[in-house]
Amino acid sequence: DAGVIQSPRHEVTEMGQEVTLRCKPISGHDYLFWYRQTMMRGLELLIYFNNNVPIDDSGMPEDRFSAKMPNASFSTLKIQPSEPRDSAVYFCASNWGGETQYFGPGTRLLVL
């Protein structure tokens, strides 16, 4: 299996622009998690899905952030409009049964 796939790997954008991050979980996994990692706040869970349904979005910072999972093999995290404080590495992870999580390589986002 190719593992969790994230795209793009790097994104540089200007403040106010819309940013869309993409994730393809490992085939057969029924849980998908979105995390954000920064030096100041460490690794934070933003939202997670089970069988394509959002279960807990309490970590989503504000209305500028939204996440969708239209099918079992694809999820997006959108930031609109983006701000410099959104600069971080965003990770997607997946698993089955909810225990050990398999992380993607991350998307490094820089908002200027």
Partner 1 sequence: SQQGEEDPQALSIQEGENATMNCSYKTSINNLQWYRQNSGRGLVHLILIRSNEREKHSGRLRVTLDTSKKSSSLLITASRAADTASYFCATRAMDSSYKLIFGSGTRLLVRP
Binding site for partner 1 (CB under 8 A): 4, 31, 33, 41-43, 45, 48, 50, 55-56, 91, 93, 98-106
56 or 83: CB nearest partner 1: 56
74 or 102: CB nearest partner 1: 102
In angstroms, the CA 15 to CA 84 distance is 6
15 or 55: CB nearest partner 1: 55
CB of 25 to partner 1, least distance (A): 13
44 or 83: CB nearest partner 1: 44
CB of 35 to partner 1, least distance (A): 8
In angstroms, the CA 75 to CA 112 distance is 25
CB of 19 to partner 1, least distance (A): 19
Contact 86, 21 (CB under 8 A): no
- Distances in Å between the Cα of 7 and the Cα atoms of 71, 76, 89, 104, 109 are 17, 10, 12, 10, 11
